[in-house]
Structure 1
Amino acid sequence: MTGEEQPMKTRLIKDVAQVKADQLRLLLITDLKDIPRDRHLDTVEAALKGGVRDLQLREKDLPLPDLFSLALALRQLTSHYGARLYINDRLDIALMTGADGVHLPEAGLPAGEVKARYPHLLVGVSTHSWEAARQAQEAGADYITFSPIYDTPSKREYGAPQGLDALKEVTERVHIPVLALGGINLTRIPEVRRHGAYGAALIRGIWNSSNIENASSQYMQAIKGEF
């Protein structure tokens, strides 16, 4: 391959990654710690049957070998449903399992370094301020989550909720997809969309439902404006 062909190939790969990011409307983040191990895959499959097409594996309490095994199993499952799999923080597991993307903490690996070396990966970054959102965009992130928008137990370590005005400011000042995160439920999806969110990321709204498949379907309809 000539020196001119290599940059062209890299640009094409990046363009493909951006197209995938443009399809990212609802990101479901796993929270399986209270679910028996033998039901993990059935639980996730219910969400996929309901229409979820972007799944982030985020199980911080799992030992590394178990996390890797679960990632492998979820890669097969998501592939079967034509869904994308993102691995939280662990670039090594994302690469080893053939995941579609990696989601980086605000103070994690530099998004630009990851994109430079692995342009085929979708790279997301968690952000909790306008400055962090700006830095993620400049580093080359494909999308960001911005949180917490509303009060939620999983995000209280980051302080008081950001609120809708802060969400609007970020969405008006960055030009990559911004997913609202933190306290998102069905009734709040329309208002975060009105304040500029490209989509939403959530945990409890689906996993805490008594019917995960049905809840997933409702959220997918809501994010498309059909609910």
Structure 2
Amino acid sequence: MRFDKKQLLLYAVTDRSWLKDRTLSMEVEEALKGGVTFLQLREKELGENRFLEESLKIKALCRNYNVPFIINDNVKLALACGADGVHVGQSDMKASDVRDLIGQDMILGVSVQTVEQAVDAEDNGADYLGVGTVFVTATKADADFVSYETLKSICHAVSIPVVAIGGINEENIMELTGSGIAGVALVSAIFASKSIKAKSKRMLQLSERVVKS
């Protein structure tokens, strides 16, 4: 699946930490209704069977809203469920190896923190990059911090689109203006919200302003 970089404007990464009495599918659909343009299913605790079941449900929702559906880390499961793509980190499988497994039609995203990593990821088949963490975040407390200057340098060093991730919220998103990003990836800013649909709509508006500037 090829995609338009405009689809990276509001990239949602799931987290079941805030589900309470709701299902993940319910929360994801609220986000999609609010304007999420790209969705990554991230599951660290589910067994393979549950993960596959969940991925099929979320994939069906994304299809209904014409939003690319990405699996985090698990290449085997991404292939099994027919996801649009997979996203891997620096400690996961090499981008070139992932590309060999998924072929040319699936989307490949790679997390990077440096210009060197970014260029290497592009050279080895990445379609887009996730750069972070750009702000302090409780979601990934051990994540490396990436400065605004480095984020901007990465955007200028590669020809593929870049998404900023890590601690981005309504209060700080405008600080990313002028960096060259194609969009923002959000976790708690969307899924910890009392109104996921309304917050998604608001963050999409802000992301559009950042990207246009």
- Does residue 203 of the first structure (1) align with residue 184 of the second (2)? no
| Residue identity matched to 1:138 | D
- Does residue 154 of the first structure (1) align with residue 146 of the second (2)? no
2:68 maps to 84
Cα shift readout 1:20-71 (whole Å, capped 9, x = no counterpart): 3453222100001341475221111100111112110001011221111100
Flag structure 2 segments of 5+ consecutive residues without an equivalent.
none
**Equivalent of 1:180 in 139, 142, 164:** 164
For the 8 Å contact 2:7–2:37, the answer to whether it is kept is no
For the 8 Å contact 1:21–1:142, the answer to whether it is kept is no
**In 1, Cα distance between equivalents of 2:152 and 2:120:** 17
1:5 maps to none
RMSD of Structure 2 on Structure 1 (CA): 1.9
**In 2, Cα distance between equivalents of 1:32 and 1:80:** 21
**In 2, Cα distance between equivalents of 1:52 and 1:68:** 22
**In 2, Cα distance between equivalents of 1:65 and 1:37:** 22
For the 8 Å contact 1:128–1:158, the answer to whether it is kept is no
2:24 maps to 40
1:28 maps to 12
Deviation at 1:189, TM superposition (A): 2.7
- Does residue 106 of the first structure (1) align with residue 106 of the second (2)? no
| Residue identity matched to 2:196 | I
Deviates more, 1:161-170 or 1:202-211: 161-170
Deviates more, 1:182-191 or 1:200-209: 182-191
Deviates more, 1:121-130 or 1:37-46: 37-46
1:124 maps to 109
**Greater Rg over alpha carbons, structure:** 1
Q: Percent identity?
A: 33
Secondary structure of the residue aligned to 1:33 is helix
- Does residue 138 of the first structure (1) align with residue 123 of the second (2)? yes
Deviates more, 1:169-178 or 1:43-52: 169-178
Deviation at 1:162, TM superposition (A): 1.7
| Residue identity matched to 2:198 | N
1:223 maps to 207
Secondary structure of the residue aligned to 2:155 is helix
**In 2, Cα distance between equivalents of 1:102 and 1:39:** 23
Secondary structure of the residue aligned to 2:184 is strand
Deviation at 1:218, TM superposition (A): 0.7
1:53 maps to 37
Q: Normalising by structure 2, what TM-score?
A: 0.90
Structure (1 or 2) with the greater helix fraction? 1
| Residue identity matched to 2:184 | A
For the 8 Å contact 2:5–2:182, the answer to whether it is kept is no
Moved over 4 A (4+): none
1:4 maps to none
**In 2, Cα distance between equivalents of 1:142 and 1:192:** 21
Deviation at 1:129, TM superposition (A): 2.1
Flag structure 1 segments of 5+ consecutive residues without an equivalent.
1-15
- Does residue 190 of the first structure (1) align with residue 168 of the second (2)? no
Instruction: Quickly say closer, same or farther: Cα 1:22–1:120, change in 2 above 3 A.
Output: farther
How many pairs align?
Answer: 209
Instruction: Quickly say closer, same or farther: Cα 1:64–1:37, change in 2 above 3 A.
Output: farther
Cα shift readout 1:54-95 (whole Å, capped 9, x = no counterpart): 110001011221111100110111111111110001112111
Deviation at 1:134, TM superposition (A): 1.8
| Residue identity matched to 1:25 | L
Secondary structure of the residue aligned to 2:46 is coil
